[in-house]
A and B are shown apart, each in its own frame.
Chain A
Amino acid sequence: MEGRKPIVEIKNLSKYYRRDSQTVSVLENITLTIAEGEFFSLMGPSGSGKSTLLNLIAGIDKLDGGSIKVGGIDISYLSETELARWRAANVGFIFQFYNLIPVLNAFENIELPLLLTGLSRKERREHVDAALRLVNLVGRKDHYPGQLSGGEQQRVAIARAIITDPAIVVADEPTGDLDRVSAEDVLNLMERLNSTLGKTIIMVTHDPRAAEKAHVVRNLEKGVLQ
């Protein structure tokens, strides 16, 4: 990965949560750089703050100190509206429990982020068909999440994550709810996204087999990066 320009630059980041009158430190003085096109894995025990760090990188949470630059933009200064636009254009999300909309079928779930673009219906259809081919779910496009297996749902979620062609894909425990075979499929797919499409993958996991796919693995313990 040497020589690649950084896509994520985190400096002295800190994050606290307030519970009643108490302030609980979640992340302390984190400094981290992730290169463009890297498959980066963040490991650590439950409660170590890895999902919080992922949320901060993805712009769905606000930091309390330090700075985060993603693609050269300091996202800590963006308003909620600006962050929403930025996320739509730059970040794809894969969640542990897929987080598909149950009343939309696979095709519609994948199409969802495209509604925020200026694409025509025909163009959206072409994009979704391509994504369905990539995740090998063409025959399941009319199925609703409840009619799909866990692995298939996660593949729909992956297709949704890349449909707008974001530079970064963040994945929070993407295999945490899957059996071994499905987990392997999903990891292979993510590996392809990274190697073939050049997506920067930032994955949180505590599964060592998942982490093996990554180029870089970092550990987070009690809010401190090891």
Chain B
Amino acid sequence: MFPLKLLIKNAFRHKLRTFLTILSITIALVAFGILQTLIKSWYAGAETSSVYRLVARNAISLAFPLPLSYKDKITQIEGVSGVTYGNWFGGIYIEEKNFFANFAVEPKSYLTLYDYTIPSGQRENFLRDRRAALAGRKLINRFGWKVGDMITLKGTIFPGNWEFILAGIYHAGAGDVDESQFFFHWDYLNETIRKTMPHRVDYVDFYIIGMQNPGLAYEVASRVDNTFKNSLAETLTETEKSFQLSFVSMSEAIITAIQFVSLVVIVIIMAVATNTMIMSVRERIGEYAVLKTLGFGAWPIIGLILGESLVISLSGCAAGIALTFPVTSAIGKTLSNYLPIFKLDKRIFYFYGAASLLVGIVAAIIPAWRAVKIPIAEGLGRVP
């Protein structure tokens, strides 16, 4: 215990410097944690997608719709257990900053394919009324809505003010489900635009296809696409995960940049910790020379320096873990409009531990080497 006491006392001998070094490690780890959580939340849609679902869209681009008539043909394809469809509505609630995802969907088939938890009675109310809407729990909390409220969205793709009656609130069942979305009846959209936008009537943006066997995803997708091959609107069918990833891939460069920055952060803390240890050991080189004089060999000296470095880096790690929870929680709340699933993956703390160990070891290498290699007489300042 005595050497442990010595290295801990050494670590905190220059309190301000040690505190600042620990703080820099803490901030760097928290920054790393935030950046990694950000990246994970970016992929959250893909990560939480079901292997039992495929998404079919126009092969040219998502901007081009597909005829509603495809629904019956898809339903008859071997391996398909259910089909639903929908449109991205893109409505604005009061002002643009209140952004949330809103879709027109075929409600009955949609709720068959998506296992949302909806309180008793609300599901039936949503299905019954063509102007009914279903909103996620987070969205309700964000705007203080209540079931029965009239909600008006201003259409961007489909012009006009669109009024809905909030019929129900959905909750995430098991796992991570985006609870900040808004759904209403596709029929309401289709009937309303019949006069104003007749060319878009009976067209949908996407089909969501349920499968009995996820192992046959490729075969079922091929069958869907082959069915509409050489038609005016060919389809591109892919797994829900691939569909979600196609959105993420648009931001691939940004994500790569964030990954790079998060690694640079680790390199920077290595440099900071190394600098601290070099300064500490340089100041105490005489003391290490005394220890060597007394008979302490290279390994005890290395042990003291490495231990001191690890005390500092692991203190930063502990503080980093403690701070990451409230910081990511606060950021998650702030960004919940844009990144609804901003959830800290606790496995990142394994990385914190590994990075701190690495920083502690790397920071000790140069000073330990110097302390061991310096001749005792020189260390004692005795060279004539």
Residues of A with Cβ closer than 8 Å to B? 17, 26, 47, 49, 51-52, 55, 58, 60-61, 80-81, 84-85, 87-89, 93, 95, 99, 101-104, 108, 111-113, 115-116, 160, 172
Contact = CB atoms under 8 A, between A and B. Distances in A.
Contact of B2 (A88, A99, A115): A115
Nearest to A89: B295
Max chain A CB contacts within 10 Å: which of B6, B293, B297, B377? B293
Interface string B346-384: 000000000000000000000000000001110010111
A88 B380 CA distance: 17
A200 B13 CA distance: 37
Given A84-B296, A103-B6, A112-B291, 17 more contacts: A17-B383, A26-B384, A47-B384, A55-B376, A84-B295, A84-B297, A87-B293, A87-B294, A87-B295, A88-B296, A95-B290, A99-B287, A102-B13, A112-B294, A115-B3, A116-B294, A160-B294
Contacts of B9: 103-104
Q: Is the interface of A mostly helix, strand, loop or mixed?
A: helix
Nearest to B381: A97
A51 B5 CA distance: 33
B294 A95 contact: no
A61 B295 contact: no
A101 B5 CA distance: 13
A61 B376 contact: yes
A183 to B, nearest CB: 21
Nearest to A82: B297
Question: Which 9 A-B residue pairings sit nearest by Cβ, starting from the closest?
Answer: A88-B295, A103-B9, A60-B376, A84-B297, A99-B290, A87-B295, A61-B377, A113-B294, A84-B295
B10 interface: yes
Contacts of A47: 384
B197 interface: no
26 contacts: A17-B383, A49-B384, A52-B384, A55-B382, A60-B292, A61-B375, A80-B297, A84-B295, A85-B297, A87-B295, A88-B294, A88-B295, A89-B295, A93-B293, A93-B294, A95-B380, A99-B290, A104-B6, A104-B9, A108-B2, A108-B5, A108-B6, A112-B291, A113-B295, A115-B2, A116-B296
A111 to B, nearest CB: 7
A216 B354 CA distance: 60
Q: Is the interface of B mostly helix, strand, loop or mixed?
A: helix
A175 B105 CA distance: 94
Contacts of A58: 293
A2 B119 CA distance: 107
Interface residues of B, number: 25
B300 to A, nearest CB: 8
B292 A84 contact: yes
A164 to B, nearest CB: 8
A18 B351 CA distance: 48
A115 B295 CA distance: 10
Nearest to A50: B384
A60 B293 contact: yes
B322 interface: no
Contacts of B286: 99
B297 A81 contact: yes
B60 interface: no
Contact of B6 (A60, A80, A93, A101): A101
Contacts of B5: 108
Contacts of B323: none
A116 B5 CA distance: 16
A51 B384 contact: yes
Contacts of B380: 60, 95, 99
B376 to A, nearest CB: 4
Interface string B127-156: 000000000000000000000000000000
A156 to B, nearest CB: 13
A112 B288 CA distance: 12
Given A103-B6, A103-B13, A17 B384 contact: yes
A34 B199 CA distance: 113
A55 B9 CA distance: 30
Most buried by B among A111, A113, A172: A113
Contacts of B377: 52, 55, 60-61
B298 interface: yes
Contact of A103 (B10, B290, B292): B10
Contacts of B10: 103
